Structure 1
Amino acid sequence: MQVQAKVDSTQAGRLGQDLTPLGGERAGNVAGTIPSWEGGLAQPPANYQPGMHHPDPYAGDKPLYRVDSQNLAQYQGQLPAGLKALLEKNPGYFMQVYQTRRSAAAPQRIYDATRFNAQNAELISNGNGVDGVAAGIPFPLPQNGQEVIWNHIMRYRGDQISFVSNLAAVLSSGAFNLLKQERDAYFLYGREGVSPKDLDNTLFYYRNKVVAPAKLAGSALVVQETIDQVLAIRKAWRFNRGERRVRRLPSLAYDALQPDTSGMAIADQVDTYNGAPDRYEWTLIGKQEMLVPYNSYAVHQKGIPYDTILQEKTLNPQLLRYELHRVWVVEADLRKGHSHIYGKRRFYLDEDSWQILAVDLYNKDRELSGLQESHPISYYEVPMFGSTLETIYDFKGSRYFVDGLDNNEPMYDFNAKLSPRDFTPQALRINN
């Protein structure tokens, strides 16, 4: 079954005119609190050198105001429900709100592909897949919630990347242990010269290897990510260092628990949301002006001790930056007859990049149970806009999970020598 989603040439012609090349509103807001988009950070600042933790181009900015439990009522209309609850539950926590900087940018070929997609992309298989595209945002002028979430899933994240980062489950006491991983990703969708036929229902390849702590070092994972995961589920293999064997994982999707997260993170929360959308009904609420994480360079800087970032109950608010941005709001409600630990989720997506910035998490009884946030920066050397740190707050347990801690690790390599051959079970066995 195909679901028509194409727009006519007149609508597509708005891209790069009154709309940004990826479909955001180019103009600022009436109040002047959101500026116009002027191309984003498409070039590195003068003080950047390859291999550096990205210098903050807005280091001179001072907070405009602070939001906390005392003045929450004044700003609650601009806060995701989960962020409002986080402030209420933690009176010492606060948000520093800065000048809005629309820094998101992508290569010109991604802009060109996005304009092509506007007249050619379509949802297929009841919305579980996308056809007619090989790069770019598939639905820059979205008409429903499924199209919006596919824009996040298929947004540009570079061609390939190698990096080292840590994850941590921070318990209610504030105690945590770091798990360090070497990670590689090779993106097939979005690569220059790749056609829709070349994709063969493949989005990207991913692998990781645990390097610390010593008792877990050597375990590894390989994932071959499909686009339509109802048609063909993602393939995943794990190397267990104790067994010295590679095993195919039967399921790594939906609400299957991620290992080493103390039960706080599930498979489809990686990258804020991923995988098949078939278990939810997707409703496009519309576009709103919200206070969201943005230009999070301060928490990304080299040398910050991880115990300075990871505080009891929350991240260190002194290191976080929030800005007022227009976001697409999409609500996902669990379909009857399907199971998932989240009965409802509300997503807030950046209009300039389609990166999910925040998610309100509701349990099976549709009670607000948590908050997920992405703290993004512009990787201006690519250019690409994406998360540098992701968090999941569990309100009932007064604890949280963090992924992406890289302050004391080598910086990302977007020119790594990788190929699909590096992401097979055979390669997993050879390299371990």
Structure 2
Amino acid sequence: MKTTTLAWRVGALALSLLASSVMAAVPPADAARLGTTLTPMGAEQAGNAAGTIPAWAPLAKNAGAVDAKGFLADPYASEKPLFTITAQNLEAYKDKLSPGQYAMFKRYPDSYRMPVYPSHRGATVPDAVFAAIRQNALKSRLVAGGNGLEDFQTAVPFPIPRNGLEVIWNHITRYRGGSVKRQVNQATPQQNGSYSLVSFEDQFVFRDQMKDFDPANPGNVLFYFKQSVTAPARLAGTVLLVHETLDQVREPREAWVYNAGQRRVRRAPQVAYDGPGTAADGLRTADNLDMFNGAPDRYDWKLLGKQEMYIAEDSYKLDSPSLKYDDILKAGHLNQDLTRYELRRVWHVVATLKEGQRHIYAKRDFYFDEDTWQAAVIDHYDGRGQLWRVAEAHAQDYYNVQVPWYTLEVLYDLQSGRYLALGMKNEEKSAYDFGFKASTADFSAAALRQDGVR
């Protein structure tokens, strides 16, 4: 399927900017569009001409109730689907689906569906983050052939992107609350729907949220990530620690694993690129986490522009603490009756493996929500050029803390008929805990052993 391109996808200004050096920040006159014709994050302020995509209208922090466990009420709970896409009416909506989404209907014609609801554009972040993004527009630059950043602060270095590398950097650095603790679950259902859960305790802190962060000497670390396996018993006590760097070519990410059985801390260079994902039964790579993470150096990135597309947004129903994991996980795919799709504008970027580089994915088609810079859908192709896996992010706005992020990430394997679901917290004692403080000592290899208590 050819990508449908909107007439406004790349204007004359963007074309002229593409001809300039990728090292240059945007001129002040262009940055002045942020907060006027563009949102402070860089999206189109206005809706579309058809009225099917509204203007940006950020959600208030009190848009809904927050329960005792931290779960958010659905501000759109009373809405009903406008229509549902099925295998029977699929062709009428093909131009607003990715090839991977289209393939899901062909793979599961009797059960896969997309309920499409009214679109809302409520994503927002704190004012201080918007201010940092505006400064980034004026100052941030790609370095090391596009594999690193300079003059970058907080989030989203390129709100007015001119090439695919800038868009992927917006996703990698996007605002996720600064810091978060969470208890989440991963499942890899068999073709018949049977599954076992793997439970994780995650800690995730961006560098400027560290107690000992020095703005005058920020260093090359972008964020710190620690992941402890808490179940099943045979894996419990294993801990992964990652220091994510801005320039992973000059200074590769540092990773360590504490193995509870051996009671040893080891370097983990395999936690990158297409190294195996943790306890994922071979269904995801290390760089599939968060839809995509890590160094972009193995691919050529081509920006194709914007298009309208149905993506999974405002997924509060799917995050409800009234659900059990059995309600969500079904044979072949999620329980699509719990999902919510909206028509949105997305940036389309194609990543093609560079000659001489190695990765199990020879090509990836990325579709990024314009309001958040989050990857919404990624189609993955194998070395034969065959569509292999389809990644889909079910997103929500954590409006009480002004954080756009994911409810659940899913990676469908079209060839095996299996999938991986990561991020479920419905049955946990608490939802995400944003804003905790830590120091670099808490994320040192020396401190790793004490976290791996079985």
Name the TM-score class by shorter chain: over 0.9
Alignment of 1:412 with 2:432, yes or no, is yes
| Aligned equivalent of 2:421 | 402
| Aligned equivalent of 1:62 | 80
Distance change in 2, residues 1:330/1:183 (3 Å): same
- Indicate if the aligned counterparts of 1:134 and 1:195 stay in contact, CA closer than 8 A: no
Select the residue among 21, 30, 36 that pairs with 1:11. 30
Distance change in 2, residues 1:420/1:42 (3 Å): farther
| Aligned equivalent of 2:375 | 356
Distance change in 2, residues 1:32/1:265 (3 Å): same
Alignment of 1:138 with 2:164, yes or no, is no
For residues 237 and 194 of structure 1, the distance between their equivalents in structure 2, rounded to whole angstroms, comes to 22
| Aligned equivalent of 1:298 | 317
Opposite residue 421 of structure 1, the aligned amino acid is: A
Select the residue among 344, 347, 353 that pairs with 1:325. 344
TM-score (normalised: structure 2): 0.92
| Aligned equivalent of 1:425 | 445
1:38-81 Cα distance to aligned partner (Å, 9 max, x none): 2x124133522564211111101110000011001000000011
What secondary structure, in the 3-state scheme, does the structure 1 residue paired with 2:131 have? Answer: helix
For residues 303 and 211 of structure 1, the distance between their equivalents in structure 2, rounded to whole angstroms, comes to 23
- Where does the alignment leave 5 or more consecutive residues of structure 1 unmatched? none
- Indicate if the aligned counterparts of 1:202 and 1:225 stay in contact, CA closer than 8 A: yes
What secondary structure, in the 3-state scheme, does the structure 2 residue paired with 1:119 have? Answer: helix
Query: How far did 1:377 drift?
Result: 0.5
| Aligned equivalent of 1:232 | 251
State percent identity of aligned pairs: 43
- Indicate if the aligned counterparts of 1:230 and 1:276 stay in contact, CA closer than 8 A: yes
- Where does the alignment leave 5 or more consecutive residues of structure 2 unmatched? 1-20
| Aligned equivalent of 1:309 | 328
Stretches (4+) displaced over 3 A = 189-198
Alignment of 1:78 with 2:96, yes or no, is yes
| Aligned equivalent of 1:128 | 147
- Indicate if the aligned counterparts of 2:209 and 2:437 stay in contact, CA closer than 8 A: no
Equivalent positions of 1:97-108 (< 5 A) are 97-108=116-127
Moved more, 189-198 or 314-323: 189-198
Q: CA RMSD in A?
A: 1.6
1:9-28 Cα distance to aligned partner (Å, 9 max, x none): 11000000000001000000
What secondary structure, in the 3-state scheme, does the structure 2 residue paired with 1:430 have? Answer: helix
Number of residues of Structure 1 aligned to a counterpart in Structure 2: 430
Opposite residue 102 of structure 1, the aligned amino acid is: R
Alignment of 1:205 with 2:224, yes or no, is yes
TM-score (normalised: structure 1): 0.96
Select the residue among 106, 130, 154 that pairs with 1:88. 106
| Aligned equivalent of 2:174 | 155
What secondary structure, in the 3-state scheme, does the structure 1 residue paired with 2:139 have? Answer: coil
Query: How far did 1:420 drift?
Result: 2.1
What secondary structure, in the 3-state scheme, does the structure 2 residue paired with 1:199 have? Answer: coil
Query: How far did 1:419 drift?
Result: 2.4
Alignment of 1:269 with 2:273, yes or no, is no
